[in-house]
Chains A and B, each alone.
Chain A
Amino acid sequence: QVQLQESGPGLVKPSETLSLTCAVSGYSIISNYYWGWVRQPPGKGLEWIATIHHSGSADYNPSLKSRVKISVETSRNQFSLKVNSVTAADTAVYYCARDIQVSATFDYWGQGTLVTVSS
């Protein structure tokens, strides 16, 4: 059974960098597919952030591209997200998920982790 688990600080100060890691179990990230991040501000809708292939090829939401970096660590079967220069608008539940094709189609999701941006 494919499982994903997000980890990282729950509180980040404005202007600093948000860093999250997603550990994948039950499936090797080099086997197939892509791996991505989606976020959801409290009480609001979903927003695709970025997706990466185990080769390192990555795609980003154009509205976030200048502040976001996604990376993969195949030896640890995990991938990570960094968002720099955060503001209160980046406060959200961040989900990692498996992306089954080119179109950001996510079939397995982590439980999500709330990241609050506040001083």
Chain B
Amino acid sequence: QSALTQPPSASGSPGQSVTISCTGTSSDVGGYEYVSWYQQHPGKAPKLMIYDVTKRPSGVPDRFSGSKSGNTASLTVSGLQTEDEADYYCSSYAGTNNRGVFGGGTKLTVL
């Protein structure tokens, strides 16, 4: 059982927007501004898409955005493209004794 809860699946049509949630507790997501999101295509290593809740690494399209409210973080993908179809994982800092806890992952399907 993962520390953070994500829906197993999400979907949208090309051009639409989709939001993936990541629910934790006040000891992780709600307690720190250290939520990250990763994209993983089959057989590939994860790719950092969002960090520190809202920041995008260089090269990540601005179609990807992050937010947080209370103990739930969200990743929004706007203007869906076929290449966005992948698994998405959230992670959060959980204190000095646990630098990183991950969600179980969400499979995003672009219909």
Contacts and interface: CB of A to CB of B under 8 A. Distances in A.
The answer to whether A binds B is yes
Interface of A: 38, 45-48, 51, 59, 61-62, 95, 97, 99-107, 109-112
Q: Is the interface of B mostly helix, strand, loop or mixed?
A: loop
Interface residues of B, number: 26
Contacts of A46: 38, 46, 89, 91, 102, 105
Interface of B: 2, 32, 34, 36, 38, 45-48, 51-52, 57, 89, 91-93, 96-105
Contact of B100 (A45, A103, A109, A110): A103
B45 A103 contact: no
B73 to A, nearest CB: 13
Contact of B93 (A38, A47, A97, A102): A102
5 tightest A-B CB contacts, nearest first: A104-B100, A103-B93, A103-B34, A48-B100, A109-B45
Listed residue (B46, B52, B96) with the most chain A CB atoms within 10 angstroms of its CB: B46
Q: Is the interface of A mostly helix, strand, loop or mixed?
A: loop
Contacts of A45: 2, 89, 102-105
A107 B48 contact: yes
Contacts of B105: 45-46
B89 A59 contact: no
A105 B34 contact: yes
B103 A102 contact: no
14 contacts: A45-B103, A45-B104, A46-B38, A46-B102, A51-B100, A95-B45, A95-B46, A100-B51, A102-B34, A104-B91, A104-B100, A106-B38, A110-B45, A111-B45
Given A110-B45, A112-B45, 8 more contacts: A46-B38, A46-B105, A48-B101, A101-B51, A103-B91, A106-B36, A106-B46, A109-B45
B10 to A, nearest CB: 15
A102 B99 contact: yes
B48 A47 contact: no
A62 B98 contact: yes
A106 B2 contact: no
Contacts of B47: 109
